[in-house]
């Protein structure tokens, strides 16, 4: 089934999970789309089976806290940042709930974490104004860049390039094979700085870059020229939260959470607001992602919702 406007408008909550007592701070689908993992402010890690629509397993990280959780390429392991004790990144076996490796180095809160789509490389960024490159097989940092401001970072779909958003005003593109030579492109974006960038993502087709914020605007820029393309607005963010914005797998739609508990959807090419999906969320929707393989949307506040199109559109 192709994702078009009327199909998006037909999405309804098919399953709602209330496993958390505090807000879900990050969600991530496995590359195969059959699992979803969440981290939350109550120090829980919950793994969901997307095909069965069930809670597969719940783990706890009471000692270190948990944020920015991501699957590695093996769906039985994950990396995440800490919220307690220190700012070490942790590599966890989900099978037996044991740590495989620690990645120390950041001296302030880790605010961005991105796993390469092709190998064991991942990138982290911190309020210590640095970006660090890592390999899952080694606890030692493979490379570090001082960026002079709060960073956000993401890999491109081919895993050869990563984008670093610096201080909510500049995007730098690095070739992973020669990142030590500096960025090969820098886009200075002359936009009103009424809010801070809290996330950055390449579109699945690699043609555009999306910046999400702690305000009520989301921006789309050309990934090759840095030209501003669209500004998406109309969702609510009156709490200064880092609301996630995400692409559909075909790069045609943008989804964002809202502090009014709803999910807003825009057409990425026209900027037109397609619809507002009314969820069963009782709090701000901080996390929204589309399944990379299945016709399924996931959103999270303190509860986790799986959205599916109405049956008559399938």
Per-residue pLDDT reduced to its tens digit, 208-249: 999 998 888 899 999 999 999 999 988 888 777 889 999 999
For residue 295, name the pLDDT band (cuts at 50, 70, 90).
very high
Query: pTM here?
Result: 0.92
Per-residue pLDDT reduced to its tens digit, 101-120: 999 999 999 999 999 999 99
Question: What is d(CA 207, CA 228) in angstroms, rounded to the nearest whole number?
Answer: 12
Question: What is d(CA 109, CA 130) in angstroms, rounded to the nearest whole number?
Answer: 11
Strands (E), 61-177: 67-71, 77-81, 89-93, 98-103, 110-115, 121-126, 130-135, 138-146, 151-155, 161-166, 170-175
For residue 184, name the pLDDT band (cuts at 50, 70, 90).
very high
CA-based end-to-end distance of the chain = 7
Residues paired with 48 in a beta bridge? 36, 55
Q: How many H-runs (helices) and E-runs (strands) does the chain carry?
A: 1, 28
What pLDDT, on a 0 to 100 scale, did the predictor assign at position 180? 83
User: How many C-beta neighbours within 10 Å does residue 180 have?
Assistant: 10
Which residues fall within 8 angstroms of residue 167, CB to CB, at 6 or more apart?
147, 148, 149, 150
For residue 131, name the pLDDT band (cuts at 50, 70, 90).
very high
Residues paired with 94 in a beta bridge? none
pLDDT score of 250 more than 50: yes
CATH superfamily of 5-309: YVTN repeat-like/Quinoprotein amine dehydrogenase (2.130.10.10)
What pLDDT, on a 0 to 100 scale, did the predictor assign at position 314? 43
Burial class (CB within 10 angstroms; exposed 0-12, middle 13-18, buried 19+) of 266: buried
Q: Coil, helix or strand for 38?
A: strand
What pLDDT, on a 0 to 100 scale, did the predictor assign at position 313? 47
What pLDDT, on a 0 to 100 scale, did the predictor assign at position 298? 96
Burial class (CB within 10 angstroms; exposed 0-12, middle 13-18, buried 19+) of 235: buried
């Amino acid at each position: 089934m192709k994702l078009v406007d009327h199909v998006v408008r037909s999405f309804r909550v098919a399953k709602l999970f209330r496993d958390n007592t505090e807000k879900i701070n990050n969600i991530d689908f496995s590359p195969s789309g059959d699992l979803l993992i969440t981290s939350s402010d109550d120090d829980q890690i919950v793994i969901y089976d997307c095909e069965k629509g069930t809670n597969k397993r719940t783990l706890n990280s009471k000692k270190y806290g948990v944020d920015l959780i991501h699957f590695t390429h093996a769906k039985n392991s994950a990396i995440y940042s800490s919220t307690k004790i220190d700012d070490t990144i942790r590599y966890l076996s989900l099978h037996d709930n044991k740590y495989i490796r620690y990645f120390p180095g950041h001296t302030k809160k880790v605010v961005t974490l991105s796993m390469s789509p092709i190998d064991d490389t991942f990138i982290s960024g911190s309020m210590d104004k640095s970006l660090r490159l890592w390999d899952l097989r080694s606890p030692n940092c493979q490379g570090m860049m001082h960026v002079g401001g709060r960073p956000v970072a993401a890999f491109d779909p081919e895993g050869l390039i990563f984008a670093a958003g610096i201080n909510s005003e500049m995007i730098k593109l690095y070739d992973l094979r020669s990142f030590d030579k500096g960025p090969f492109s820098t886009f200075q974006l002359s936009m009103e700085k009424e809010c801070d960038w809290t996330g950055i993502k390449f579109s699945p087709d690699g043609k555009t870059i999306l910046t999400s914020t702690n305000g009520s605007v989301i921006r789309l820029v050309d990934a090759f020229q840095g030209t501003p393309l669209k500004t998406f607005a109309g969702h609510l963010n009156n709490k200064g939260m880092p609301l996630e914005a995400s692409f559909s797998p075909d790069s045609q739609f943008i989804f964002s959470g809202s502090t009014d508990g709803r999910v807003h959807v825009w057409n990425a090419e026209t900027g037109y607001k397609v619809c507002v999906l009314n969820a069963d969320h009782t709090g701000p929707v901080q996390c929204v992602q589309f399944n990379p393989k299945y016709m399924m949307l996931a959103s999270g506040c303190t509860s986790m919702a799986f959205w599916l199109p109405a049956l008559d559109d399938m």
